[in-house]
Amino acid sequence: MTSEPLRRVRITHPRTEAARRAPIRPASREIEEQTALGEVYMGSLIRSQRRLGVIVCGLVAALLGGIAVFGALATNLDRMHLFGLPVPWLVLAIGIYPLLIAIAIYTVRQAERNERGFIELVRRPNQPIDPAPPTSERHDRDVSLS
Amino acid sequence: MSHGAAITAVTLVAVATTVAGSRGLRRARSTGDFYVAARAVTPRWNAAAIGGEYLSAASYLGIAGLILAYGYDVLWYPVCYTAGYLVLLALVAAPLRRSGAYTLPDFAEIRLDSRAVRRAASVLVVLIGWLYLVPQLQGAGLTLATQTGAPSWLGGLIVCGVVIVAVAAGGMRSITFVQALQFWLKFAALLIPAFVLLAVWQHRDDGVAHGYPTAPRDATVQIGSATTVRVPVAESLEMHGVVDGVSTVGATRLTAGQHRLGAGTRVVLHRGDVIPVVTSLPAQRNESWIRPLGSGQDHPLYATLSLILAICLGTMGLPHVLVRFYTNPDGRDTRRTTLVVIGLLSSFYLLPTLFGGFGRVYAPDLLLTGDTDATALLLPERMLPGLPGVLLGALVTAGAFAAFLSTASGLTVSVAGVLSQDMLRRARDRPRAQRIRSFRLSAIVAIAVPYLFSLPSGHLGLAAVVGLAFAVAAATFCPLLVLGIWWPRLTAAGTLAGLAAGGVLAISAVLVTIVGGDADGWWGALLAQPAAWAVPITFIVMIAVSLATRRRVPAGVGRVMVRLHAPESLIAELRYADRSSS
């Protein structure tokens, strides 16, 4: 950037109309127009949702796999009874369902929170997020989504 | 009298479904109408409708039967049928709705912009749909035969007839309302008998005894075709017919081990007789029946873990599940609908377990014929003599037929849609009348083929065959959906290679298991539960080939990713901004 030739810079009084119409764009436009900046925004949402997906799948895998492996290791567990049922049956026939529902509620809440945060971020309309002129950076694919 | 009640119940359900299906014609003419009407559908109704379509013969009858035969290990089926929706909620639900895809091939085409991938997905939808339809039709045949003594091909034929009439008349799936009612019918049809049977059980205070299952009371069992049974302990049984090639009448001394019973042999079980078990099912003591991994399979921990993987990941790839998500107005409501589905399934699946447990105590003689899928149907009459038992049995039968009809029609519509759109050469370009005719023809093909496959009776068990359908879905559509939604670098070539690898591996494993029967040792275990190795292979192939062809990442992928993940409210805002600025 330092080697760039000097550009003509327009200097205006901050309280004039011109200053307010400076090339400051809401982030939602960046997303709509597929700019690099828009991809950064979208990428952050996708990453947060993907992290949630990985966490939830990890929880489910740990829960189900844990019960299966524990059942294989603790062989005398079936002789223990609770409420007239063998403990492994109590866990897998009844007890696990409230846990699955709880994880589902967590997933929905967290996913909606991620989306709300994202919308708030891109809706802040007139904030200078990127001071560089946006036109020069369109279709620059350096910043990938992954 | 017992026959009369069951016949009335089946007739009522069949007629109600046909009428509701044909009235739907006026309500929903196209996917467009369907879509607009759907905006009025709340997550609760939608969730009940998803449940209505999802709870199939396997859930309704199969699980109870498998629990009777195998015990604790089968509890994983209902748990994973529910957990599958949790995985779907976390990874797929909202983005899939936002993609606007109506079927899995639609999604593949939208995401990868490739007709070839669309074709491959279509072929897989048809295969998985058929694999799932076969047990539905077998279950219908079994139900009707058990409850009315009809020949076993009749029940499936009735389901085919009703589904074809309903689908041809208006596509019954288009009515969320009917599917939702079917869910509540199924739920009530198990819940009411469950409460009554619980009361009876409390009153009698019977438990699962130690040792091998014994006859709870005198019963006569008729052997249909010649079968081999395993007698757990040496005993004397009253038999009329041919045993080990020798004709016998009356008390017969049997050694412990395998014996061949000729066709038409009658076994008269007296109270306390240890029940011989057909060789396709394990003959185990009740102690190991209760114990985790006690179902007598080879390598039970591997089988359990692989089954968990197959069902949890396969749910998202079932053809008739995805289509229902389209009725949600937006991605956010799709998530909420899925949450309600998980709640509904969690309550429903308490019931088949209860029936399975009661089955071990009150109907263990089903182990002799292997018709354990009839457990839930027979229990009311076994536990409750007289008219109340008959009426409750008829109620369970009605619920079972609701299960066959709703799942079979959902699958038929999905498969027929794919057949007419993708197989019968670009149906979209043809005039409307021809298009409808081709859809109706496809509907007939879509259900006639699995009906033919359902005729030779196998003893694999409803839930087991359905489990194989899940395994194929997990090894093909799960990687396509997960990578398609979360990994922008997926290419059409990678997807095709992955679908081919996963599809060929999983389907051949399934075919070997169905046709070849049980192999022993590690080979048998790996083939019977292919998900644990087939799913990772598919993922690896898809990722590796995509990376090798990274120059061919579809051009519009960024735009598709925005569409999949951006909340609808934001998209609407963008559209508005676009219009006002131009």
Tokens for B448, please give them: 């006639």
| Interface size, chain A vs chain B, as Cβ–Cβ contacts under 8 Å | 148
Measured between CB atoms, does A86 come within 8 Å of chain B?
Answer: yes
Residue in B43, B63, B65, B46 with CA at minimum distance from that of residue B55: B63
Which residues on B lie below 8 Å from A107 (Cβ)?
Answer: 86, 89-90, 335, 339
Q: Pick B342's closest partner by Cβ from A78, A89, A100.
A: A100
Collect all residues with Cβ–Cβ distance below 8 Å to B75 and sequence separation of at least 6.
Answer: A89, A92, A93, B67, B353
Measured between CB atoms, does B573 come within 8 Å of chain A?
Answer: yes
pLDDT at B43: 79
Across the interface, whether the CB atoms of B489 and A96 are under 8 A apart is answered: no
**CA-to-CA distance for B577 and B151, rounded, in angstroms?**
66
| DSSP symbol at B214 | B
Q: Pick A56's closest partner by Cβ from B86, B308, B578.
A: B86
Q: Is B466 helix (H, G, I), strand (E, B) or coil?
A: helix
Q: Pick B566's closest partner by Cβ from A42, A53, A89.
A: A42
Residue in B487, B476, B414 with CA at minimum distance from that of residue B111: B487
pLDDT at A3: 57
Measured between CB atoms, does B111 come within 8 Å of chain A?
Answer: no
Q: Is A9 helix (H, G, I), strand (E, B) or coil?
A: coil
Residue in B498, B428, B510, B413 with CA at minimum distance from that of residue B469: B510
Q: Pick B83's closest partner by Cβ from A45, A64, A75.
A: A64
Tokens for A97, please give them: 């369902």
User: Please, what sign has the CA dihedral across residues A104, A106, A112, A115?
Assistant: negative
Measured between CB atoms, does B301 come within 8 Å of chain A?
Answer: yes
Q: Pick A94's closest partner by Cβ from B350, B489, B559.
A: B350
Measured between CB atoms, does A36 come within 8 Å of chain B?
Answer: no
Tokens for B384, please give them: 């409750």
**CA-to-CA distance for B364 and B67, rounded, in angstroms?**
11
Measured between CB atoms, does B569 come within 8 Å of chain A?
Answer: yes
**Choosing among B66, B111, B305, B539, which should be mutated to test the A contact, i.e. which has the most A CBs within 10 A?**
B305
Across the interface, whether the CB atoms of A34 and B559 are under 8 A apart is answered: yes
Residue B490: closest CA among chain A residues belongs to which residue?
A146
pLDDT at A136: 39
B268, B239 contact by CB (below 8 A): yes
Q: CA distances (Å), B426 to each of B219, B430, B444, in order?
A: 59, 8, 19
Residue A53: closest CA among chain B residues belongs to which residue?
B90
Across the interface, whether the CB atoms of B565 and A72 are under 8 A apart is answered: no
pLDDT at B497: 94
Tokens for B533, please give them: 């190795």
**For residue B299, is it left (φ>0), alpha (ψ between -120 and 50) or beta?**
left
Across the interface, whether the CB atoms of B567 and A88 are under 8 A apart is answered: no
Across the interface, whether the CB atoms of A145 and B349 are under 8 A apart is answered: no
Measured between CB atoms, does A105 come within 8 Å of chain B?
Answer: yes
Q: Where are the alpha helices (DSSP H) in A25-126?
A: 27-32, 36-73, 87-89, 96-123
Below-70 pLDDT ranges, chain B: 1-2, 20-41, 169-176, 205, 423-433, 435, 457-464, 516-519, 573-582
For each of chain A's 146 residues, which pLDDT tens digit applies? 455 677 777 766 655 554 445 445 555 555 656 666 667 778 888 889 999 999 999 999 999 999 888 888 877 766 777 777 788 888 888 889 999 999 999 999 999 999 888 888 877 654 544 444 444 344 444 444 43
pLDDT at B50: 85
pLDDT at B261: 85
Across the interface, whether the CB atoms of A64 and B570 are under 8 A apart is answered: no
**CA-to-CA distance for B142 and A138, rounded, in angstroms?**
64
Which residues on A lie below 8 Å from B312 (Cβ)?
Answer: 60, 64
Which residues on B lie below 8 Å from A25 (Cβ)?
Answer: none
Collect all residues with Cβ–Cβ distance below 8 Å to B70 and sequence separation of at least 6.
Answer: B281, B282, B289, B295, B296
| DSSP symbol at B273 | P
Per residue in B453-467, pLDDT tens? 877 755 556 666 777
Residue in B462, B403, B488, B464 with CA at minimum distance from that of residue B188: B403
Q: Pick A68's closest partner by Cβ from B304, B335, B577.
A: B304
pLDDT at B563: 84
Q: Is B540 helix (H, G, I), strand (E, B) or coil?
A: helix
Q: CA distances (Å), B22 to each of B18, B168, B516, in order?
A: 6, 8, 42
How distant is the Cα of B84 from the closest Cα of chain A, in angstroms?
10
Which residues on B lie below 8 Å from A31 (Cβ)?
Answer: 562, 566, 570, 574
Measured between CB atoms, does B566 come within 8 Å of chain A?
Answer: yes
Chain CA centroid to CA B102, Å: 21
Measured between CB atoms, does A45 come within 8 Å of chain B?
Answer: yes
Across the interface, whether the CB atoms of A42 and B312 are under 8 A apart is answered: no
Which residues on A lie below 8 Å from B72 (Cβ)?
Answer: 71, 78, 88-89, 92
Residue B339: closest CA among chain A residues belongs to which residue?
A104
**Choosing among A40, A115, A119, A142, which should be mutated to test the B contact, i.e. which has the most B CBs within 10 A?**
A115
Per residue in B163-191, pLDDT tens? 887 777 665 445 667 778 888 888 998 89
Across the interface, whether the CB atoms of B486 and A50 are under 8 A apart is answered: yes
Tokens for B461, please give them: 């068990």
Which residues on A lie below 8 Å from B89 (Cβ)?
Answer: 56, 104, 107-108
pLDDT at B34: 42
Residue in A71, A48, A146, A109 with CA at minimum distance from that of residue B339: A109
